[in-house]
Amino acid sequence: MQNQDYDYIIIGSGFGGSVSALRLAEKGYKVLVIEKGKWYKKDDFPKSNWNLKKWLWAPKLRWHGIMKMSFFRHISVISGVGVGGGSLVYANTLPVPKKDFFETGSWKNLEDWENELKPHYKTALKMLGANKTPVLFDGDLALKELAENIGRSNKFSPTNVAVYFGEPNKKVPDPYFNGRGPERTGCNYCGGCMTGCRHGAKNTLDKNYLYLAQQLGVEILAENEVVDVVPVQINGGNSYEVYYQSSTKLIKRKKKSTAKGVIFSGGVLGTIKLLLQLKNSSLPNISNQIGEDIRTNNESLISITHLKGKKDLSKGVAIGSILDTDKDSHLEICRYSSGSGFWKWTHLPYTTGKIPILNILKIIYNFFKTPRTYIKLYFVKDWAKRTATLLFMQTLDSKIKFKKNKIGVLSSRITSGKKPRVYIPRASELAKKYAKIIDGRATVFALEPLAGIPSTAHILGGAVMGEDRTKGVIDKNNRVFGYQNMFVIDGAMISANPGVNPSLSITAIAERAMEKIPMKK
C-alpha cells in the first residue's frame, strides 16, 4: 500500500494547465505540472527569429525554442512550447467570441454557455492583465483606413491585449496582484511579442497564474514529456501512475509519479497525440470520438510587404487592432520586431488559384512579367519593418480528424464539411485593398500555393464536449468519459469555432472547470 505523490498531475503549462494549477492549489491540493518545453526568462528569448535555436522547437536538431511548426496533409500548425505554453509566443489578443460560438458545435445544448461563462471571462481578463492598446501605429492606421474604405469604420477598434503598458521601459512593482506578482516593465512597442518579450511587458502565464501557483507550492517540472498514464488502485481508490522522460536530453530515462487525478493540458497536438496513443494501451475506455472535430478558425495569413516609402510596420504590439469585416469574419494586423525577417524565405508570392500547379505557373509568369518587383520582395531591407501580416478569421466551420497512421505518426483526415481552405475570396479581396493602401505586394507561406495546405495558429478540438461518450470525449465539466478524476482542459476541449483568437476562451472555460472541483477535505 502507498500514498499518491500528488493530488493532481497536470500535463502541460498553457492556458488550461496554468489556470488548473493555481485554482487547485488554492483549494488545498498538491499539484505537479509537467511541461516538455524549457523555462524562459526575459533575457533568454531570441532577439530576432533568425535565432532558430531559441525560437523554434525541433529537439532532433537540438533547437529548444518557444514555437513549434507541425505539418499535416490538410493543415500546417503553429503552436507554443515552454513554461507558459502558447502565452510565450501568442500575439496577446484576448477577444470574447460572438454569440454563434456559444450556440453551435457539440456543446451547444449542454449549457447556456454565453451566460454561464460571462463571470469567468471577466476573471480571465483580470488575471491576464487585459488592456486596450493605447497607441496605433502605421500597420494599424492602414487597417483603420481600410475599415473606412469598406464602410465599416465603426467596426474597427484597438485590441484588448495581455500587456502591461505603463511608461515605456520603466520597471514597477507588481501592478496586478497587490504586490504578490513579479515586477513589470512598460511596453516599448518593439513588436517582438511573438518571439518572446525581452522587456517584461507581456503578461505571459509565468507572470500570473503559474507565478502565483508556485507561491502556493505547485511544482513545475520543465523539459519533460509524459509518455504514459496508467490507472491503478492506491489505498482502495482510483489513482494514476504518470510516466515521463526528458524532452531535451539525448538519453531518455523514464520516471514515474502517482496522483489521484490527471489533467491533460498539452494543447491539441500534445493532448490528442497522447490520448490516441493511450487509447490503444493503458486508457482503452477513452471515447471513440478522440481526434474528431478538429477545427481551425478557418483563417488566412497573408503578408503584405511595403516596397516604397518609410512606413515602419514592425512598430506596436504583435496585434494592435482588429476589424470586424462582416458578421462572420475578422481581420487583424500581425507584426514582428525589426530584424525578424526569417519568414521572408519561407514565403512565395500570393496567388488566388485553388490548383497548385496553376499557382506555380502563375508565380513563374508574374516573375518574368515584373522581375524587379519580385526581387525587391526578397531583398527588401528589414523585412519585418516593411511587412504586415493580415490574419483573417471566420466563424464558418470546417473540420478535420487526427488519428495515428500505421507507423504511429499523427495524421489528418477530412471528416464533415469542407476542408480548411487556402484561398478565401473575402481574405483575398481585403488583402488587395490593404496592399493598395500601403503600396505593397502580398506573399504567403510556401505550402499554400505549392501544396494547397493552409496554415493556422489556432488548432482547436479533438477532445470536445458531448452529452455522452458517443458525442464527445469529455462532459460539460471537462471530465473524461470512462475515467474518474481525469480532465481535458486546453484547446482540445473547444467544441465550436470561436472565429477569433481562442486563448481567452480557453482560460475562461478552464476557470469554470476548476470552480466545479470541491475544496480538498
pLDDT tens sequence across 291-314: 999 998 888 899 999 988 889 999
Mean pLDDT of the residues in the chain: 94
pTM for this model (two decimals):
0.96
pLDDT tens sequence across 351-408: 887 788 888 898 898 888 888 888 888 889 899 999 999 999 987 667 889 998 877 7
CA atoms within 13 A on the CB side of 163: 35
pLDDT at 53 over 50: yes
The pLDDT assigned to 418 comes to 66
**Dist CA 322 CA 147 (whole Å):** 10
- Joined together, the cell numbers standing for residue 394 give 471566420
Query: Across 121-276, where does the E strand assignment appear?
Result: 130-132, 156-158, 160-162, 171-172, 184-185, 219-221, 224-234, 237-246, 255-264
**Dist CA 50 CA 56 (whole Å):** 10
458 is known as an active-site residue: yes
What mean pLDDT is predicted for residues 11-37?
A: 98
The pLDDT assigned to 417 comes to 62
- Joined together, the cell numbers standing for residue 429 give 479581396
H or E element: which one contains 113?
helix 113-127
**Dist CA 130 CA 122 (whole Å):** 10
H or E element: which one contains 391?
strand 387-394
How far CA 498 is from CA of 81, 103, 109, 397, in Å, comes to 22, 11, 16, 10
What mean pLDDT is predicted for residues 37-62?
A: 96
Q: First CA to last CA across the chain, in angstroms?
A: 21
**Dist CA 320 CA 91 (whole Å):** 9
What mean pLDDT is predicted for residues 495-517?
A: 96
Rounded to 10 degrees, what is the CA torsion of 358, 362, 368, 370? 180
What mean pLDDT is predicted for residues 221-242?
A: 94
| Alpha-helical runs (H) found in 232-326 | 267-279
The catalytic residue among 64, 306, 347, 458 is 458
pLDDT tens sequence across 77-102: 999 999 999 999 999 999 999 999 99
pLDDT tens sequence across 176-191: 999 999 999 999 999 9
Instruction: Please choose, from the candidates 267, 42, 80, the residue with its C-alpha nearest in 3D space to the C-alpha of residue 164.
Output: 42
> Given its phi and psi angles, is residue 372 left (phi above 0), alpha (psi -120 to 50 degrees) or beta?
alpha
Do the beta carbons of residue 77 and residue 456 sit within 8 Å? yes
**Dist CA 113 CA 119 (whole Å):** 11
Phi, psi of 272 (to 5 degrees): -70, -40
Instruction: Please choose, from the candidates 442, 42, 95, 394, the residue with its C-alpha nearest in 3D space to the C-alpha of residue 206.
Output: 42
The pLDDT assigned to 1 comes to 40
Cα–Cα–Cα angle for 98, 138, 308, nearest 5°?
A: 130
pLDDT at 333 over 70: yes
pLDDT at 173 over 60: yes
Instruction: Please choose, from the candidates 511, 36, 31, 482, the residue with its C-alpha nearest in 3D space to the C-alpha of residue 260.
Output: 31
**Dist CA 13 CA 502 (whole Å):** 16
Percent of the residues in the chain that have a pLDDT greater than 90, as a whole number: 82
Cβ neighbour number for residue 423 with a 10 Å cutoff? 19
Domain regions of the chain by residue span: 6-515
- Joined together, the cell numbers standing for residue 114 give 454565453
- CATH superfamily, region 6-515: FAD/NAD(P)-binding domain (3.50.50.60)
pLDDT tens sequence across 127-162: 999 999 999 999 999 999 999 999 999 999 999 999
What mean pLDDT is predicted for residues 215-228?
A: 98
Rounded to 10 degrees, what is the CA torsion of 239, 489, 514, 497? -150
